[in-house]
Amino acid sequence: MSILLTENTTFIVQGITGREAVNLTRECLDYGVGAKIVGGVTPGRKGREVHGVPVFDTVAQAVAHHGSPIDGSVVTVPPAFTKDAVLEALEHDIKLIVIVTERIPRRDVAQMVERANEKGARIIGPNCLGLIVPDVIKMGGIGGPAKDAAKAYTPGSIGVMSRSGGMTTEISSTLTAAGLGQSTAVSIGGDAIIGSTYAELMPLFEADEETQAIVIYTEPGGRMEAELANWVTENQSRLPIVAFMAGKFMDEMPGMSFGHAGTIVEGKADTAAEKIVRLREAGIAVAEEIAEIPGLVKDLIGEKVAS
Amino acid sequence: MSAVAENLFINVEVDDSAAGDPAIVTKLVDACPVDIFAAGEGGALEIVTGNLDECVLCNLCIAAAPEGTVRVIKLYE
Amino acid sequence: MRIILPIPDFPSESGDGTAVAPPSSLTFPPAMRFFEYEAREIVKREGIPVTDYGFVTTADEAREVAARIGGSTVIKSQVLTGGRMKAGGVQFADTPDEAAQHAENILKLEINGHMPRGVLVDPKAAVKQEYYAGVVWDGIRKKPVMLFSDMGGIDIEEVAEKHPDHVGRGHFSNLTEPPEFLAKEVIAQTGVTGSQLQRATPILARLARLFVKYDMTLAEINPLVELEDGKFVALDAHMDMENEARPRQKAILKDLGVADEETREAREATEFEIAGEAVDGMDHRGVAGNVTEFDGNLGLVIGAGGGSLTLFDAVRKYGGKPANYCEIGGNPSVAKACGLAKLVLSKPGVDKIAVMMSIVSNTRVDIVARGVIKACLELNMDPAEKIAIFRIPGAWEDEGYKILDKYGVEYCDRSVSMHQAAKRAVEKIQGDVPTGAAA
């Protein structure tokens, strides 16, 4: 199985006539069993088609045309218009929203997230490449063109979550080369506030029978790793986790500020070194290099089976 | 600067029959995403050599002109 | 306030003597800091009482403002760095002449590598009690938080650690205006009551509103003081605005006189970094940016965001000395990749470059290969000798490998890990192995 997506997931692309969105639409349609992109939205472009996908002015028109609720939306509109696009999708009961757009002020992100919570919807991103269920469906630019995505991703039992879109593919490709396929790989986004953190996606992987282990890619900044460590400790997760931490050099650069009033709210574990300690304390294996990840995953799955 | 050629990787050849036809020239100018083609005096084709290496091998120019009249040559092959 | 970390293996200074620190784009989260005089102006325009201070840039102006204020004054250096009190950047004056003298000294005083923008001349306040009021983001709860303490004047982290019951806090929704009652509740958590509670409540509520309105990542009044006569005034303020919000905050930035090009980074960009920005600005296709200078001998043409962080670590892990950091991605043009590679290759002390990325799906291998080879040839350098390793697997890799083969550049595909590729580059630059194309 998978999390969040199945071969029957329907979605729209908001901002579908943009250059990158046109490519993304092609890639998603071509991949796996073929994404069910049931419409696109660009204000003022109603009546056009993008790779055979009908374009509408509003989400309401797309939903009406489809004739039943639409599961998801990939939002790729400029930062100043993203919040409105997401609120529009939420208003029409779309429950899974992937925000590709970068450089969205966090006040807007927080507003979108709060509204999504009220509507029982989930946001992935912003500043992400989306998610992929190997050989089945991809929602977003993750992995690139279908033939490139097929090289890196194979079906299997590893859940992947990454703050870097490109590293989601690098890590999945490394797992694939070692015979470890992926259940679902999620590019969660690199911003300070994102719709779904590692800890928020863990219950979904936990509930997915196919998933046997988790691999995460992480960077300095924020408290998401500490949140994950807490979640793992408190919930006695069945899933072994392997983490890779990039950007250790940033700990040593002067001028990096880690102390501010935020630390008394979020806690004080901002440096790469402190994150690694915290993850290890929670029983999460931390790989020194990407190439070590498959071995660690195999060891941990083996331990689970043995015990 | 140096004596390095402006285009190291890509060359484009267009037959005179196509290069002299203003209608085809317009199509080539519109088709190329990296502006390799320009219309010169009297609508004759000009190749912008400085942009040749930006060619993304999309073949849109080949599709825009009569078959066989435009050739994209990879100088590294 | 700011914790500066030691830097064991890094140069602590670049060639021209300026401290090496990352541009704000490399820090997390990036934000633009305001000077105290700007931060005070912001709180003032939102209806929070301040003292009758003056911002000046000369000793004569300082004398005038001190004379207008009358009585004792405080002269405060306006620098974007902490520790100004310790460095002598805050002085007390009893007369206008004394204020002018202090201003003259402080205007010449460099603090942590920063020269002051000017000085603030502030009436010496008759303080009865110091408080702290702040608003900050909680990235985990994804909401802003109001903070209040009746122990002001010192770092809030210290208060929270030693006297947690003296810090009140309350998250608020992003969908509605922060309510005044919440400010009241937060203040009441610290035991403050009576007229102090009544006077402090609208100040904290207004601080929360300006935090939202101006897209701040941090808004602090410390200390917020109660004067002998019972009035509350903001005696110092610290504000950081989110960089991403600058386009929509143009009005306030213009009012405050903050120019578009003022990045307020931890240090000035070097000439090399400015040249890097120019390369990125050459055309709109893709990114070849976030160039940061170091003083090593291995030039890096690396990407994308996460890949760059991983590869920079990898080079250092194997003992390499990077000459720079950068991020390429988003399918840059040949000209842009060429421009960046030329910049790095031309940097004094750079012996070779390593061209490496995580697997690309948008950026094209052949386009980057063309760019970096062209850079070598235009500089009359041999690509086979100057490019230590080319490790970019992914989109159009077969086409890219043909180009690399033709020029004898050593490359590897995805079966060679990012770390292995970095190790190979380091070995080659250290002369441990002969250079040239591998089989």
pLDDT in tens, C292-331: 889 899 999 999 889 999 999 999 999 999 999 999 998 9
For the cut 50, the answer to whether the pLDDT of residue C10 exceeds it is: no
User: How far apart are alpha carbons C270 and C288 in whole angstroms?
Assistant: 17
- Chain-chain contact of A141 with C167 (C-beta, under 8 angstroms): no
Label residue C17 by pLDDT band (50, 70, 90): very low
Structure tokens at C170: 């309350």
A185-194, C25-34, C98-107, C206-215: least confident range: C25-34
Alpha helices in C121-259 (DSSP H): 156-162, 180-188, 194-213, 250-256
A105 → closest Cβ in C138, C245, C393: C245
**Measured distance between the N- and C-terminal CA atoms of chain C, rounded to whole angstroms:** 55
Q: Is the pLDDT of residue C26 over 80?
A: no
Question: Residue B3's closest chain C neighbor by CA?
Answer: C378
Residue B34 has pLDDT above 70, yes or no: yes
Report chain C residues whose CB lies below 8 A from the CB of B8: 370, 373-374, 377
CATH number of the C271-429 domain: 3.40.50.261
Encode pLDDT of B48-58 as tens digits: 999 999 999 99
User: pLDDT confidence of C437, banded at 50, 70, 90?
Assistant: very low
Contact C126, C228 (CB under 8 A): yes
Pairing mode, strands C352-357 and C298-303: parallel
Q: Which residues of B touch C (CB under 8 A)?
A: 1-2, 4, 8-9, 34, 53-54, 56-57, 74, 76-77
**pTM beyond cutoff 0.80:** yes
Q: Could you state, in order of their start, the residue ranges of all structural domains in chain C?
A: 52-123, 127-256, 271-429
pLDDT digits over C152-176, tens only?
988 888 898 899 999 999 999 999 9
Chain-chain contact of A259 with C3 (C-beta, under 8 angstroms):
yes
Which residues of A does the annotation mark as catalytic?
Answer: 260
- Considering only A14-23, C136-145, C427-436, which range has the smallest mean pLDDT? C427-436
Class of domain B10-74: alpha beta
CATH number at C127-256: 3.30.470.20
pLDDT at C1 over 70: no
For chain C, list residues whose CB is within 8 angstroms of any CB belonging to chain B. Answer: 333-335, 364, 366-367, 370, 373-374, 377-380, 399, 402-403, 406-407
Question: Which residues of chain A are under the pLDDT cut of 70?
Answer: 254-270, 307
Q: Establish, for the pair of chains B and C, how many residue pairs have beta carbons separated by less than 8 Å.
A: 32
Is residue C352 within a helix (H) or strand (E), and if so which, with residue range? strand C352-357
Q: Name the residue among C335, C373, C378 with its Cβ closest to that of B2.
A: C378
Rg (CA), chain B: 12
Please give the residue of chain C at the shortest CA–CA distance from B1. C378
Rounded (10°) angle between helices A79-91 and A59-66: 40
pLDDT tens profile C361-392: 989 999 999 999 999 999 999 999 999 999 99
Closest CA to C51 of C176, C233, C309, C214: C233
Strands (E), chain A: 10-14, 36-41, 49-50, 53-56, 72-75, 96-99, 122-124, 130-133, 137-139, 155-162, 182-187, 213-218, 241-245, 285-287
- Non-local CB neighbours of A122 within 8 Å, separated by 6+ positions: A4, A95, A96, A97, A116, A195, A196
Per-residue DSSP letter, A68: S
Residues in chain A closer than 8 A to C21 (CB atoms): 253-256
ipTM, 2 dp = 0.95
Taking only residues 52 to 81 of chain A, the set having a beta carbon closer than 8 angstroms to any beta carbon of chain C reads 79-80
CB–CB contact C138 A247 (8 Å): no
The answer, for A113 touching chain C at a CB cutoff of 8 Å, is yes
Question: In angstroms, what separates the C-alpha of A99 from chain C's closest C-alpha?
Answer: 16
Write the CB contacts of A299 (distance below 8 Å, at least 6 apart in sequence): none
Q: What is the pLDDT of residue C285?
A: 83
Most confident residue range from C77-91, C255-269, C299-313:
C299-313
Q: Is the pLDDT of residue C27 over 80?
A: no
**How confident is the model over C119-146, as a mean pLDDT?**
94
What CATH number belongs to C52-123?
3.30.1490.20
